[in-house]
Chain A
Amino acid sequence: MDHDEPSDRHGHARDHAHAHADGSELSEMDLRVRTLESLLVDKGYVDAKALDALVETYETKIGPRNGARVVAKAWADPNYREWLLEDATAAIASLGYTGRQGEHMVALENTERVHNMVVCTLCSCYPWPVLGLPPVWYKSAPYRSRAVIDPRGVLGEFGVNLVESVELRVWDSTAEIRYLVLPLRPAGTDGWTEDQLMTLVTRDSMIGTGLAKEPQTAKATS
């Protein structure tokens, strides 16, 4: 990182009214990135309104609710579930979720015997159209390093304790194939509509570091 900013620049950055819990480091980053953006705009490489649109898309439009819709439909509709497991790219596209970082999708079904978990040990590959941008922990060294050797230990840190007999399968996203875990449908949800089922599907359950919520929990928290 560039720590060559003159001291008055530091002060200038700190004086800006950005409420950063992490303090001056981020303010320095804000300044540096603003300088870069104005340079790229002035050079004609970047349109600031396009940046707004890109950010807005992933901040407000594309997120794990998309994936939850896919999972809920698969739980509710056996034909859709079969299609999803056979050709996830097409089945997911049929709900309108396509594109960047989800061009080639594969769905992994969790069962009573098999639990799937997804990682990218080399960088941060993640299925954006169905889950949005990845959380910080997914991109962090602790997760990337341990998911492939000690998934049970990692799951424990998420409060998930599976019985010993469950097979733990870890999927490392080394190519452009993106993985979506189809979590186990909780008991006690017979006859639930897709909209109701969606409330049980968490982001982590679709990465494989969590389970779907139990019906009581969902009712208590909703």
Chain B
Amino acid sequence: MNGIHDMGGMQDFGPVVAAPDEPRFHAAWERRAFGMMLAMGALGQWNLDQSRFARESLPPAQYLASSYYQIWLEGLIRLMLERGLVTREELGDGKIRTPPLSVRAALAADEVAQRLARGASTQRPASAVARFKPGDAVRTSNQNPTSHTRLPRYCRGRPGTIVKLHGAHVFPDSNALGAGEKPQWLYTVRFEARDLWGADTTATAVFVDCWEPHLEAREA
């Protein structure tokens, strides 16, 4: 989706303001919202790409006016409402009006350390041979799906060069739709900054991780 979240190359948001000695969380609610996002994720009712798409789908003006934990919280609420885990009325006053859905047991405190340390690899066995190898000249596809994709607008239809293979990984474009993980080869692609921005850039090169369906071979 060509959403507000896809910010690479936009201008006029002002300077980057770094706060020295910034606290990890800025308010009590941020701590709890962060914890809830992870704990609810552990129930397995949505996948990583669905949670990203929920955040990206906030109304653009709201997205821009929100802190990142607010975006997370709104995304979480959207996911829970979509799946019937909670209702709007329940969110209003916290009182239960519908029975809980039958989901796996809540994440327990003594499972947290192990679960975080294990993480969730997105690498999967490859079902086909990789089309490209380091050094190959490629071009990204020109595509504008209204659904989730991790190919940013600024590098669509652009020439690049493969620099690294990472194995086959879960394909977000499919996974976000609930259409299966459909693992695809993942590559790091080098784009010369002038091929992205013309002369108006201070970068030398921009490196983007791209899945094979977004790449086509190019005459070097």
Residues on A facing B (Cβ under 8 Å): 1, 4, 18, 20, 22, 26, 29-30, 32-40, 42-47, 49-55, 57-59, 62-63, 98-104, 106, 119, 121-124, 129, 132-133, 135-137, 139-154, 157-158, 167-177, 204, 209
Contacts and interface: CB of A to CB of B under 8 A. Distances in A.
Given A35-B94, A36-B36, A175-B169, A135 B19 contact: yes
A137 B17 contact: yes
B215 interface: no
A7 to B, nearest CB: 15
B157 interface: no
B32 to A, nearest CB: 5
Given A54-B112, A104-B122, A38 B209 contact: no
B9 A142 contact: no
Task: Give the most central of A40, A133, A140, A168: most B CB within 10 Å.
Answer: A40
A132 B25 CA distance: 12
B200 A51 contact: no
Contacts of A106: 164, 188
B109 interface: yes
Interface string B9-37: 11101111111001011111101111110
Contact of B200 (A37, A149, A174): A149
B20 to A, nearest CB: 10
A44 B106 contact: yes
Contacts of B56: 122-123
24 contacts: A18-B27, A26-B29, A34-B32, A40-B36, A40-B40, A43-B85, A45-B100, A46-B39, A50-B109, A54-B112, A98-B118, A122-B150, A132-B24, A135-B19, A137-B16, A142-B16, A144-B7, A147-B8, A150-B202, A157-B16, A175-B150, A175-B209, A176-B121, A177-B188
